[in-house]
Amino acid sequence: MTAPTLFEPERPAATTAAGPRPEPFVIALPAGLFLLNSNQRLNRHDRHRYVKALRDAAREAVTECPSLMDALAAAQPGPLFPRAHILGVLHPASGRRADPANWYPSFKSATDGLVDAGLFEDDDHTRVLGPDMRLGRVVRGGQIVLVVRGLEPGEDPLGYRAVGR
């Protein structure tokens, strides 16, 4: 029996809840990458190798998206997003129970890859909200997907005043 998912990648709740908004960019990393989670105990060399692979995969996924590359070119010389919200979707390799927040190290590495690609100047709290991690459907080998949407100054994408800046 597979675990139910609370997220439909075709219509993410964060992009439909508050009415019309700019379309988000969906950045899917390749399925089957080794995903880091908070419960693993790896030596520093292996951890560095996996972080680099996830970071590079995210940067490469950006370069393989023509609409994102066009938007990046139009935004030059600065970053594409002054502020953005990231919804991170974990597509687990199996239908067992999962806690998407445990995969934060993978989402952090992928977000750093988005900075490397030029989407953000940095991924600090003044520029990036999230990644808000959710569970998606089962994908063979496991996968993470980042849904990135630009924010207007002061916009609170989730409707929580404590989050908006």
What is the reported pLDDT for 164?
45
For the segment 6-39, what is each residue's pLDDT rounded down to a tens digit?
A: 444 444 444 434 444 568 999 999 999 999 999 8
Residue 22 CA to residue 135 CA, distance in Å, equals 23
- Of 143, 150, 142, 90, residue with least CA distance to 114: 150
Q: In the structure, what pLDDT confidence band is assigned to residue 114 with cuts at 50, 70 and 90?
A: very high
In this structure, the strands spanning 84-91 and 143-150 are antiparallel
Provide CB contacts within 8 A for 156, sequence distance 6+: 163, 164
Cβ pair 114, 57 in contact under 8 A: no
Q: Quick: pLDDT tens for 39-79.
A: 889 999 999 999 999 999 999 999 999 988 988 888 888 89
Q: Among 89, 102, 96, 84, which Cα is nearest to 133's?
A: 89
pLDDT digits (tens, 9 = 90+) for 124-158: 988 999 899 999 999 999 999 999 999 888 787 77
